[in-house]
Amino acid sequence: MEHVRMVIFDCDGVMFDSKKANEAYYNHILSQFGKPPMSSLQCDYVHMNTAERSVTYLFKNDRKLKDAIAYWREMSYLPFIPLMEMEPYLKLFLEYLRPAYKTAISTNRSDTMNPVLKHHGLEGYFDLVVSCLDVKDPKPNPESLIKILDHFGLSPQETIYVGDSEIDEAAARAAGIPLVAYKNPLLSAAYHVTHFKEIEDLLERNRTAR
């Protein structure tokens, strides 16, 4: 932590508990085509992946796939944003970080990220937001993380990435960025935490020890 100058966040499962929102969103799409609600395995998949990947996965080998993709493209996520619950202490942690540290988001969300930030009063807390629309290959490909590093001219060793999934673990490893695993003890990570105050304490101890 002693050389850290930037903190990168994943969105779903880190900044927000978005399971209720995502389940409602994708179950709505499924219901439009007479399909049952998602299984627990399907819920885990859509929680980590892009919307296009998720719809394709949910309708795999289904003749309605093209229609489902078309319906998804026209459907708004905005009614589901209020179901997202901000993680405890997130805003206070962001206030602690700025302006000493750069802050960024690397997410597999698409055009929903900015409305999410606006709804939850987080506009202006991040120096850069990279969604799946800003890269050719979304996570687990490290492109989004490398794009953030290049934007600020920082090295992986000057950065930490806060993620919660195997996709985050793979992207961080490929980019060479230390992973802070959030509420997931099963991930291989430099640090494991269950609360943002723990990351703040780690940064503060190293800052005062310099």
The pLDDT tens digits of the residues spanning 169-194 come to 999 999 999 999 999 999 999 999 99
Q: Do 90 and 110 reside in the same domain of the chain?
A: yes
Is there a domain that residue 1 lies in? no
Q: Do 97 and 133 reside in the same domain of the chain?
A: yes
Q: Do 201 and 100 reside in the same domain of the chain?
A: yes
Which residues 6+ apart lie within 8 Å of 200 measured at CB? 93, 96
Amino acid sitting at position 37 = P
For residue 210, pLDDT over 80 is answered with no
Q: Do 103 and 200 reside in the same domain of the chain?
A: yes
Six token digits for residue 152: 């600020």
pTM for this entry: 0.92
Among residues 57, 82, 107, the one where a domain terminates is 82
Mean pLDDT of all residues in 11-20: 96
| Domain housing 23 | 19-82
Mean pLDDT of all residues in 134-144: 97
pLDDT band at 1 (very low <50, low <70, confident <90, very high): confident
Domain count, the chain: 2
Q: Do 36 and 93 reside in the same domain of the chain?
A: no
Query: Taken in order 79, 11, 49, 188, is the CA torsion positive or negative?
Result: negative
